[in-house]
């Protein structure tokens, strides 16, 4: 049953909306959470982080099987049969389990009502809720949080409406492994999916308008990864402009201009478009409020407050950075502040991210480009994983760790690791950045052997040694 009046209306049940609604309800506030999809979890659960990493896990295990000879394990054949429908079924069962679990946990809270349906603002204190299985109901709220996420952008390329052209959500539901796959956009999603499908046997061509893959990542790490992708058989075409996509027989034809050269083309079976995401604000009735937005998202101040003092917004719908953990961090900080428990809001200087490439690329804090644009006087400590015990044991002795630290106080401002397992290094990296840890502190912390975390202390010790001898 929907009440007439709530303390809080939260719109969107993803990694942003769900935790803010739960935290407010746990404090005894009357909360209504409205989600227009089939269940709680958002893009992250249904068409983002989780399904893509389920595919990645199968791809990783496939690579390991193919490399098993290196570990003295000789399989009767190198030919591993990929059962795509079993991979899809495994994905569906994990999504189902997680979605049911989220709903069960949230429904335990008596002051939190969840409605599957849509919400639209009538003004700054009233909204129309339309449940999927019922007629519309108008409610009054004291404060509201918009956490409606984002959706893929369809760039204005001739032929993008062709049925062979998929977005990131659609490719995760595909019922076969495409023989040839063209991916347009070499951001994190394009890079991850190109390596996954390449491992599964697709002939992958990755098109990028910029001069290299992964523009927000430091050049040395991105170039290393780009080379690795080329070595693995992915054709990476940079500095290119896609002119059109047209249908030919059973496949499609991608026509593009590259480096100013005359038009070139490639035939493919499936095209994946991953050129960016746009905020989900359509149908929210923002025009009935003073909430302002740009094409990048809803405008908020540093307290996530919109132009309406009682309406807040967070997560993908307010623009970059677009990560599940970032949306959740904003949600938890906002809930505390709304409950009069002043708490700092997350700042990008402390953010972390993992690109689930092969090898993984973990990032915490600032990149070199960001440090330079802020005029920070910094130096870089490096560690190459070819010398690392754990990486050698795992046959992953490639890639490097970079630590950015201030020259004056040796405070760590950035940690970037390119190595299989880098994702799991980012927990310590996040804490080091958030706590303003110094090189000396990192060097003296006892890191267990043999683990990849030893690289942190080794890089810090080497930099201190170099500084003292230089």
Active site residues: 449
The yes or no reply on residue 300 touching ligand FAD (CB under 6 A) is no
Q: Does 286 bind ligand FAD (CB under 6 A)?
A: no
Residue 185 near ligand FAD by CB under 6 A: no
Instruction: Count CB atoms within 10 A of the CB of residue 315.
Output: 35
Alpha-carbon distance 143 to 292, whole Å? 17
Q: How far apart are CA 283 and CA 378, in angstroms?
A: 47
Least Å distance, CB 40 to ligand FAD, is 7
Q: What is the Cα–Cα distance from 161 to 244, expressed in whole angstroms?
A: 11
Of positions 10, 23, 24, 49, contacts ligand FAD by CB under 6 A = 49
Task: Give the shortest CB-48-to-ligand FAD separation in angstroms.
Answer: 3
The overall longest dimension of the chain from CA atoms, in Å, is: 75
Tokens of 390: 């754990």
Interaction of residue 352 with ligand FAD, rule CB under 6 A: no
In this structure, the strands spanning 311-313 and 137-146 are: parallel
Three-state secondary structure readout of 42-90 = HHHHHHCHHHHHHHHHHHHHHHHHHCHHHHCCCCCCCCCCCCHHHHHHH
- Provide, rounded to whole angstroms, the least separation between the CB of residue 26 and ligand FAD: 18
State the DSSP H helix or E strand holding residue 96, giving kind and residue range, or none if neither: helix 84-107
Site string for ligand FAD, 74-113 (x = CB under 6 A): ----------------------------------------
Tell me how far apart the alpha carbons of residues 166 and 141 are, in angstroms, rounded to a whole number: 39
Q: Is the Cβ of residue 189 or residue 443 nearer to ligand FAD in the bound state?
A: 189
CA distance 125 to 145: 12
- Minimum CB separation of residue 393 from ligand FAD in Å reads 26
Residue of the chain from 22, 88, 148, 198 that contacts ligand FAD (CB under 6 A): 148
- Tokens encoding 239: 């500095």
> Is residue 191 a contact point for ligand FAD (CB under 6 A)?
no
Select the residue interacting with ligand FAD from 9, 12, 157, 313 (CB under 6 A).
12
Alpha-carbon span 361 to 222, nearest angstrom: 9
* Least distance CB 34 / ligand FAD (angstroms): 5
* Three-state DSSP class for residue 175: coil
Looking at the Cβ atoms of 150 and 367, the one nearer to ligand FAD is 150
The angle, 0 to 180 degrees and rounded to 10, between the axes of the packed helices 324-338 and 17-26 is 30
Which is closer to ligand FAD, CB of 18 or CB of 438? 18
178 scored as a contact of ligand FAD (CB under 6 A): no
Options 67-75, 91-99, 320-328, 381-389: segment touching ligand FAD (CB under 6 A): 320-328
Stretch that binds ligand FAD, among 38-46, 132-140, 408-416, 430-438 (CB under 6 A): 38-46
Residue 292: alpha-carbon gap to chain centroid: 25
For residue 19, the minimal CB distance to ligand FAD (Å) is 9
Pick out residues in 354-373 that bind ligand FAD (CB under 6 A): 356
Cα–Cα dist 172/418, whole Å: 25
CA 379 – CA 368 distance, rounded (Å): 9
CA distances for 223 relative to 167, 337, 399, angstroms: 26, 42, 11
Judged by CB under 6 A, does residue 414 bind ligand FAD? no
The Cα-based distances of 25 to 107, 129, 393 in angstroms read 11, 19, 48
Q: Which member of 99, 205, 268, 280 binds ligand FAD (CB under 6 A)? A: 280
Nearer to ligand FAD among residue 213 and residue 442 (C-beta): 213
Q: Does residue 11 belong to the site contacting ligand FAD (CB under 6 A)?
A: yes
CB 69 to ligand FAD: min, Å: 31
3-state secondary structure 371-385: HHHCCCCEEEEEEEH
In the complex, minimum distance from the CB of residue 354 to ligand FAD, in angstroms, rounded to a whole number: 7
Site residues for ligand FAD, window 13-32 (CB under 6 A)?
A: 13-17
| Contact positions vs ligand FAD (CB under 6 A) | 11-17, 34-37, 42-44, 47-49, 52, 118-119, 147-150, 168, 189, 280, 283-284, 315-317, 322-325, 327, 356
């Amino acid at each position: 049953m929907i009440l007439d009046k709530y303390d809080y209306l939260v719109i969107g049940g993803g990694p942003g909306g769900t935790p803010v609604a739960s935290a407010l309800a746990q404090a005894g506030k009357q909360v209504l959470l409205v989600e227009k999809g089939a269940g709680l979890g958002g893009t992250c659960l249904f068409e983002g982080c989780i399904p893509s990493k389920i595919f990645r896990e199968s791809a990783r295990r496939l690579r390991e099987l193919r490399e098993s000879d290196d570990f003295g394990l000789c399989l009767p054949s190198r030919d591993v049969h990929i059962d795509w429908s079993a991979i899809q079924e495994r994905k569906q069962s994990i999504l189902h389990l997680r979605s049911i679990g989220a709903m069960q946990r949230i429904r335990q809270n008596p002051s939190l009502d969840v409605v599957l349906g849509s919400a639209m603002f009538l003004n700054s204190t009233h909204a129309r809720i339309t449940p999927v299985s019922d007629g519309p109901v108008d409610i009054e709220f004291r404060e509201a949080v918009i956490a409606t996420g984002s959706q893929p952008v369809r760039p204005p390329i001739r032929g993008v409406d062709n049925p062979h052209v998929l977005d990131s959500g659609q490719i995760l539901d595909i019922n076969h492994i495409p023989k040839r796959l063209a991916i347009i956009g070499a951001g994190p999603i394009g890079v991850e999916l190109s390596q996954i499908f390449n491992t599964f046997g697709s002939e992958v061509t990755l098109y990028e308008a910029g001069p290299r893959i992964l523009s927000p990542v430091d050049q040395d790490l991105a170039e290393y990864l780009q080379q690795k992708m080329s070595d693995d058989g992915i054709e990476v075409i940079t500095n290119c402009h896609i002119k059109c996509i047209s249908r030919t027989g059973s496949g499609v034809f991608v026509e593009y201009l590259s480096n100013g050269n005359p038009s070139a083309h490639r035939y493919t079976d499936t095209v994946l478009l991953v050129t960016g995401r746009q905020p989900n604000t359509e149908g929210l009735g923002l025009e009935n409020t003073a909430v302002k937005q740009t094409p990048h998202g809803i405008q908020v101040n540093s307290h996530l407050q919109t132009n309406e003092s009682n309406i807040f917004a967070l997560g993908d719908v307010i623009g970059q950075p677009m990560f599940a953990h970032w949306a959740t961090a904003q949600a938890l900080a906002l809930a505390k502040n709304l409950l009069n428990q002043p708490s700092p809001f997350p700042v990008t200087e402390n953010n972390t991210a993992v690109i689930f490439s092969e090898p993984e690329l973990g990032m915490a804090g600032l990149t070199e480009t960001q440090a330079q644009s802020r005029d920070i006087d910094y130096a870089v400590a490096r560690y190459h994983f070819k010398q690392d015990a754990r990486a050698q044991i795992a046959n992953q002795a490639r890639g490097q760790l970079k630590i950015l630290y201030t020259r004056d106080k040796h405070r760590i401002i950035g940690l970037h690791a390119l190595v299989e397992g880098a994702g799991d290094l980012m927990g310590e990296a996040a804490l080091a950045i958030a706590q303003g840890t110094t090189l000396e502190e990192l060097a003296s912390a006892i890191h267990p052997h043999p683990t990849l975390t030893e690289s942190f202390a080794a890089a810090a010790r080497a930099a201190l040694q170099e500084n003292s001898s230089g």
